[in-house]
Amino acid sequence: MVDQYQLVVGAIALAVGGLLAAVDLWARGLDRPGRVPVAIVGRAWALAGVAGALIGGWSTPRAVPWWIAATVVAVMAPTDRMPAAHPLGRVVPSLAVASLVGIWAAVPDTEPAVAAACALVPLAASRLRRDAPAVGGAGTAAVVVAALGAAWVGSAGRATAVAALAAVAMLVIAPAVLGWRELPHGRGRTVLVCAHLGVALVLPRAVMERDAVVALTATAVVSVALVGVAVLVRRGLVER
């Protein structure tokens, strides 16, 4: 259920995310790459993650670990122009938003997921351009922290936080199995995207009323299955 407070939180986070997306596009200066400010490029995702954490978790002390993790990512993030790229390329931010939608549908306190998702949406939309660069390690770390942080704060200690480990799905598993290189468009990449969406949007809701043992078991089983899918793609058993 979306109430008025969530709408306010979402609007604020969306405005901040939109500003960061605009600054990111300006800073990249696609026609003048040599003039790109390194302090901005590569940190837009991390700054959006910090914004989502602050906006979504300002009213609870449970958000402190989320704030710390998001801040560490922002400080440590290198320039996103490094050659390493997530296997799923430009759609990684959109997949992170899908993870946050799944978390939002499962946790009792939904404002953190709303804030984190809305802060990422403008940047995710900007990366859907064909000429946009793939997301690297820094961006991946930022969106994973955003999803896990929103689940941790919104779960209020319930088993849903455990299921969030699977909600990040291919955001973590794909680079762990396939390495930091973007896959070409094809069936393999489509299978990975569909596997991520199926798990991220279904699993957290499916275990929201279960105890921690059931949630942990479901998370472990699903994670192993996702690793298996990624291995099949890596071995070429799923056409790329």
Take residue 205 and report the two structure tokens written for it.
């809701």
| Residue 115 maps to a domain | yes
Residue 43 lies in a domain: yes
Per-residue pLDDT tens over the stretch 100-151? 999 998 888 899 999 999 999 999 998 887 777 778 888 899 999 999 999 9
Does residue 185 fall inside a structural domain?
A: yes
Burial class (CB in 10 A: 0-12, 13-18, 19+), 110: buried
pLDDT in tens, 212-229: 888 888 889 999 999 999
Is position 65 within any domain? yes
Indicate whether 240 belongs to any domain.
no
How far is residue 76 CA from its own chain's centroid?
17
Into how many domains does the chain fold?
1
Residue 127: count of CB within 10 angstroms of its CB:
21
Q: Residue 28 pLDDT more than 70? A: no
| Residue bearing the bigger pLDDT, 238 or 173 | 173
Percent of the chain scoring above 90 in pLDDT: 48
Q: Please report the pLDDT score of residue 158 as a whole number.
A: 74
What single letter denotes the amino acid at residue 82?
Answer: M
CB-CB contact of 102 with 204 (8 Å): yes
Specify the pLDDT at position 80: 47
Tokens of 199: 């798990």
128 DSSP assignment: T
Q: What pTM was computed for the model?
A: 0.89
Q: What is the pLDDT of residue 2?
A: 58
Nearest to 188, CA basis, from 230, 133, 140: 230
pLDDT digits (tens, 9 = 90+) for 42-70: 678 889 999 999 999 988 888 999 999 99
Cα dihedral: 214, 220, 225, 226 (round 10): 120
Q: Is the model's pLDDT at 238 over the cut of 80?
A: no
Q: In the predicted model, is pLDDT for residue 33 greater than 60? A: no
Is 165 inside any structural domain? Answer: yes
Closest CA to 88 of 33, 26, 21, 144: 144
Task: Note down the domain range covering 49.
Answer: 4-234
**Is residue 163 assigned to a domain?**
yes
* pLDDT confidence of residue 31: 44
**How long is the chain?**
240
> Using the 8-state DSSP alphabet, how is residue 89 labeled?
G
pLDDT in tens, 180-201: 988 888 888 999 999 999 999 9
Quick one: pLDDT at residue 239?
58
User: Does any domain span residue 123?
Assistant: yes
For the cut 60, the answer to whether the pLDDT of residue 161 exceeds it is: yes
Query: Which position has the higher pLDDT, 177 or 138?
Result: 177
